[in-house]
Amino acid sequence: MKTTLTINGEPREIEAEARVTLLDALRHEIGLTGTKKGCDHGQCGACTVIVDGRRINSCLTLLCTQEGAEVVTVEGLGEPGRLSALQEAFLAQDGFQCGYCTPGQICSATAMIEEAAKGWPSWVSESLEGEAVLSREEISERMSGNLCRCACYPNIVDAIAKVAEARMAEAAE
Amino acid sequence: MTAHLVFDEPDKRNRLDAMAQEVVGRPIDRSEGALKVSGRAVYAAEQATSLWSEKRAECLYGVFVRATVPLGRVASLASGEARAVPGVLEVLQDPRLVRHPAQGMARKSPPQDLSEVTYFGQPLALVVAESFEAAREAARLVRVEYETSAEAELDPAQAPSELPEKKQSAQGDLEAALREAAVSLDASYSTPSMAAAAMEPHAALAWWEGDRVTLCGAYQMVSQNAEELADALGIAPGKVRVLSPFIGGGFGSKLGIAPEAVAAAVAARTLGRPVMVTLARQQEFEIAHRRSETGQRVRLALDADGRLTGIGHEARVSNLAGESFSEPVQQATHFTYRGENRQIRHEVARVNLTCAGSVRAPGEAVGVTIFEMALDELAEKAGLDPLELRLRNIPEEDPETDKPFTSHMLAEALRDGADRFGWSDRRAPGERRQGEWLLGMGMASAVRVNMLHKARVRVTLTGEGARVESSMTDIGTGTYTILTQIVAEMLGLAPDRVRTILGDTDLPEGSGSGGSIGAASNGSAAFLACEEIRRQIAAQMGCPEEELTLKDGRATCGNRTRDLAELVTEPLSAEGHFEPGKALKGVRSSTWGAHFAEVAVNEITGEVRVRRMLGVFAAGRILNEKTARSQCLGGMTFGIGMALMEEMVHDRRFGQVVSRDLANYHIPAHADVPALEVHFLEERDSYGGTLQAKGIGELGICGSGAAVINAIHNACGVRVRDLPATPDKVLEGLCALGR
Ligand code: FES
Ligand code: FES
């Protein structure tokens, strides 16, 4: 069956069986292999992409349910020589080692910072109302769906904190 | 031109310190980093789509049919239904396919013949189809009947066992020492099976050109892996090329060639098209090597001065029949602490469970951890500060062989760490409280044997910059970056003028990644190549190599300076060939460190949270402070996992892994890991190859779990001897204490 959607700003039409996940479609049909498969069961976050502004596990999403969706993958966030602020920050803080969980971490963090900017609370937020300040604890909590076996967690949090601070300052203006 | 060094003498020249570029050691960003953060780094399962786009449409997908019994013979395998699935081309049964991965550095095929089942989940056949989805569906439709004649051995504690002669040792009279001791300890501990659980599951893509096969795979030691694959296929090693430019973590699980590689190669041959086989996460847990569970007994004798007089360390581990690997639990017990009376007993149970093999720091990861937990108990019994107990028992030389240590930094690491951490603020159990949380501190020594391995690296200098080539891999360890730095330093180039190419068996044979051998071994080879190039430049400049200064692309001898771009008109190329020799024969070489942890234990739920953790490490010259630190963070976090959550549970009736995915096998997540602190004690170890450097990839896991467990005791008085310290166990301890 055919699914029409936008991937990294480009309109795409993909012909695939109904059982094909968004993750496998990205990797096998489109050749966008930046999005990784770590578990195929929604347990690791390696496959995180941004759909209509929200982060999702693309392994738990069937392609055919994404008709008309706007999908952004790690490739759409930046490229060598033109990296996004978060990608730069991951590089500077060594927020990765093997790099396999990294696209998922970066997509997840990109959307997470926007969630916080909108004031969405998390499990560790003091209150359900008002501003969501991205403390270390908040970042760790909100990023816990993205596993990293190389365990770059402290560095990932540093990288996100740096970018989030700038984003919050921007939002305050 | 080859620059060959057999490392027979320690290298005390510290040549890197005499170089002028000043990039070695600096915390520069990873050289392949931009590719990784932008999703452009190409891992094994992606080679078909990215590297090799013209053949993408031809690529077939393979999925394993696997055993649903732990022991037996395949009586029949009915593939009719599977073959009827649209898109399915083959249900491959072939005598060349292998049962489980090869052990690290095997250089030969693991056991073949899949009709013999030796563990639950063993591959039996490969379904190959036009799409991954079709292959996956069809694999479930293959019907297998088994014949079983014997009972499977599924309980490592009860299974028949062996005592490999070489792994036992004794000196003095431990029993007498225990009788005469002022304070003694006799305690039993256990650690469960654990998984490497690298985020990238095993993957292999193979295709043939004539009689030559190319394998894109996720493997740590590609040169060895090529030999293993060739052996499995029955072809000459020269007919195999393995490519692993990017590997999504290994931690030992990708040391040897594994079933997916052989299956992809055989299927590609049979069908005449490229074939990709990836393991699903559940298969990863069942097929990739596990770290063996251990049963350990530690006996310690202490005299009235707080000095160890006796050390006994017994371990029972397990593996499949015929596997020579057994978790070397006591590897560091031999030499870490003093004591005249010593006894090591090492027992290997033969079981029908997933093959056991190396997982990050095989031996020390579980051996040092348990031993350091026992020392904490002994310190308590003796009324000594645990830090003091360790400081009093650091030996002058290897206590079993009397060999001198190449460097011994344990005391310094312990003292430095205690200072930084604020160890003197530690209180008695139960004395620090925040609401329902009890706080405590724990510490442990870190120790890991240090090894070197033969390695070859080619360096080519042109007017534009340098190229570094080796079959060595970078599994996240930082090899791309540190080799770049070493060559940049030696040849006086900015790091962005050096390009490092790795993970291709067509290149000179590197050591591969495993056992923390990578940096010192391949780094030494790169050094040798650069030294040769420097000699050639020096000859052109008319001075000895020692007097040549290379910096920012310029060569200086005395008062003469020339641009390298004009000096190097023809590419200058040299291959460095480093071989460990006699230097390390008469000495004991190890890396050292100290772990400190502060935890909070919830008095009501038994939950443990790590509040902060510090690791102080000494591993010779640190080649890149940033990537080395990340390696340590990773190791320390593995320790948190081992202490608090990681447990591979086998069903004792059927032998299958119950916790076979990341929802059931818990690895530390963001919220489990606070801002860990790492500090290095820089040293130059002249036995660490030509760089005076040692391995850093595994040291962080050695003992870190013990610091956490010991902190739990200091917080609430509960000793957990069976890892992991899950809330139920802590709670049981709290109840027993009447809290
Ligand atoms: S691959 Fe989707 S969550 Fe793991
Ligand atoms: S960088 Fe290796 S898993 Fe996160």
Transcribe B189-202 into DSSP letters: EEE-BEE---SSPP
Which 8-state DSSP code applies to residue B435?
A: T
A124 min Cα distance to partner chain B (Å)? 11
The whole-number average pLDDT for the span B286-315 is 98
Residue linked to tokens 């940033």: B626
* Rounded Cα distance, B364 and B366, in Å: 5
The whole-angstrom separation of Cα B567 and Cα B39 is 39
- Residues of B marked active site are found at 698
B130-157, pLDDT tens digit by residue? 999 999 999 999 999 999 989 999 999 9
Residue for token digits 């997908």? B61
Chain B residues whose beta carbon lies within 8 Å of the beta carbon of residue A40:
280-281
ipTM above 0.90? yes
Q: Is B662 exposed, middle or buried (0-12, 13-18, 19+ CB in 10 A)?
A: buried
Residue A163 and residue A131 share a domain: yes
Which residues in A lie closer than 8 A to residue B631 (C-beta atoms)?
Answer: 97
* Cα separation, B470 vs B340, whole angstroms: 45
Reported as a single tens digit per residue, the pLDDT across B602-644 is 999 999 999 999 999 999 999 999 999 999 999 999 999 999 9
- Give the confidence band of B411 by pLDDT, cuts at 50, 70, 90: very high
Residue A144 shares a structural domain with residue A104:
yes
**Dihedral pair phi/psi, residue B203, rounded to 5°:** -150, 145
CATH of B2-41+452-584, one of 1.10.10.10, 3.30.1490.190, 3.40.50.300, 3.30.365.10: 3.30.365.10
Q: Which two tokens stand for residue B448?
A: 């890991």
Query: Inter-chain contact A156–B670, Cβ cutoff 8 Å?
Result: yes
Token pair 């270390």 in the structure block, residue: A136
Whether residue B263 has pLDDT greater than 70: yes
Which residue of chain B has the CA closest to A85? B37
Contact present, B432 and B439 (Cβ < 8 Å): yes
So what's the pLDDT on residue B297?
98
The CATH number of the domain holding residue A70 is 3.10.20.30
Question: Could you give the C-alpha distances from B64 to A15, B93, B126, B136, in angstroms and in order?
Answer: 26, 10, 5, 8
Please tell me whether residues A63 and A107 are part of one structural domain. no
Tell me if B670 and A99 make a contact (CB, 8 A cut-off).
no
User: In this predicted model, what pLDDT tens digit does every residue of B177-232 receive, in sequence order?
Assistant: 999 999 999 999 999 999 999 999 999 999 999 999 999 999 999 999 999 999 99
Beta carbons of B260 and B295 less than 8 angstroms apart: no
The Cα of A112 is separated from the nearest Cα of chain B by a number of Å equal to 14
Q: Which residues of A touch B201 (CB under 8 A)?
A: 37-38
Give the residue from chain A lying closest to B61, CA to CA: A28
Domain B364-450+589-736, CATH: 3.30.365.10
Locate the ligand 2 atom nearest the alpha carbon of residue B200 and give its number: 3
Specify the CATH number for B43-362; select among 3.30.365.10, 3.40.50.800, 3.40.50.10320, 3.30.2270.10. Answer: 3.30.365.10
Outline which parts of chain B fall under CATH 3.30.365.10. Answer: 2-41+452-584, 43-362, 364-450+589-736
Q: Classify B252 as helix, strand or coil.
A: coil
Counted domains in chain A: 2
Q: What is the pLDDT of residue B53?
A: 58
> Looking at the whole model, is its pTM more than 0.90?
yes
pLDDT, mean of residues A77-89: 98
Q: What is the dihedral of CA B514, B519, B524, B526, to 10 degrees?
A: 100
Interface contact B133-A146, CB threshold 8 A:
no
DSSP E strands, chain A? 2-7, 10-15, 48-51, 54-57, 70-72
Integer CA distances (angstroms), B245 to A26, B166, B238, B281, B591, in order:
22, 38, 19, 22, 28
Measure CA B233 to chain center.
27
CB-nearest to B661 from A41, A79, A99 is: A41
pLDDT surpassing 60 at residue B510: yes
In this structure, which ligand is nearest to the CA of A58? 1
What percent of chain B is modeled with pLDDT above 90? 98
B690, with CB counted inside 10 A (0-12, 13-18, 19+), is buried
Residue A9 and residue A50 in one domain: yes
Beta-carbon separation of A150 and B476 below 8 A = yes
Instruction: Say if residue A60 is in the same domain as residue A101.
Output: no
Residue A43: which domain range? 2-77
Kindly state whether B87 is in contact with chain A, defined as any CB-CB distance less than 8 angstroms: no
Looking at chain A, which residue has its C-alpha nearest residue B59?
A28
Same domain, A65 and A142: no
> A-B interface: how many C-beta pairs under 8 angstroms?
198
Sheet strands (E) in B303-397: 308-319, 341-350
| Ligand 2 atom with minimal separation from the A98 CA | 2
Q: Is the minimum distance from the CB of A47 to ligand 1 under 6 angstroms?
A: yes
> pLDDT tens digit string along B160-178?
999 999 999 999 999 999 9
Residue type, A38: G
Write the residue in A20, A96, A136 that is nearest to B36 by C-beta. A96
